[in-house]
Structure 1
Amino acid sequence: MKQAITRLVVLAILLINQTLVVFGWNPLPFSEEEIYEGVSVVATICVAIWTWWKNNSVTEEAQVSDRILKDAKRDKKAKRPKKG
């Protein structure tokens, strides 16, 4: 639900902006190049943080450890008594 509302709000803002541009008024005081650079910087920062946050097991030893941990978690879940 939140995602749908967010998409609708963004769409409304873009439609209002486009309408104002059509009538000759530029509500955003930025050039297209500045907007592109800003979006690019934000996207780069977001991807860098996301990549840093995720567990990226590159070495074979790390991948084996991940499988062992995943199996241990699965086994622990299977041994839990079911509620209800």
Structure 2
Amino acid sequence: MAEQNVPIQRMTIIRTLLLFLAWFNQFLSMNGYSPLPFSDQELEVGVSMLVTFVVSIWTWWKNNDITKKARSRTEYLKGKGIM
């Protein structure tokens, strides 16, 4: 099978950049620098809010057929007696 020239997906690049950013942040923290200009309490509240927001959106999206494709597949499965 011939190797195809498939471009790197955008999300792969974003995940890789975020990974490098996380490692750089960890390096700064280990060397005594505070890379984020927030207090510990502000950071904790912000992370908690972000996690709550992301999980809420993810749960809502996964439990509801939002896209046309999802709705049609649900109808197909119901027609086959699977759901």
Give TM-score, length-normalised by structure 2. 0.51
Aligned-residue sequence identity (percent) comes to 35
Identify the structure with the greater helix proportion.
Answer: 1
CA distance in 2, matches of 1:53, 1:18: 33
Q: Is the counterpart of residue 15 in structure 1 residue 23 in structure 2? A: yes
Equivalent position of 1:63 in the other structure: none
The match for 1:35 among 43, 53, 64 is 43
Deviation at 1:4, TM superposition (A): 1.8
Deviation at 1:16, TM superposition (A): 1.4
RMSD: 3.4
Cα deviation digits, residues 18-37 of structure 1 (max 9, x gap): 22222222110123332232
Give TM-score, length-normalised by structure 1. 0.50
Q: Is the counterpart of residue 45 in structure 1 residue 22 in structure 2? A: no
Task: Give the ranges of 4+ consecutive aligned residues of structure 1 lying more than 6 Å apart after TM superposition.
Answer: none
Structure 1, unpaired ranges of 5+ = 57-65, 76-84
Equivalent position of 1:70 in the other structure: 75
CA distance in 1, matches of 2:75, 2:26: 49
Matched length: 64
Q: Secondary structure at the match of 2:32?
A: coil
Structure 2, unpaired ranges of 5+ = 1-8, 66-70
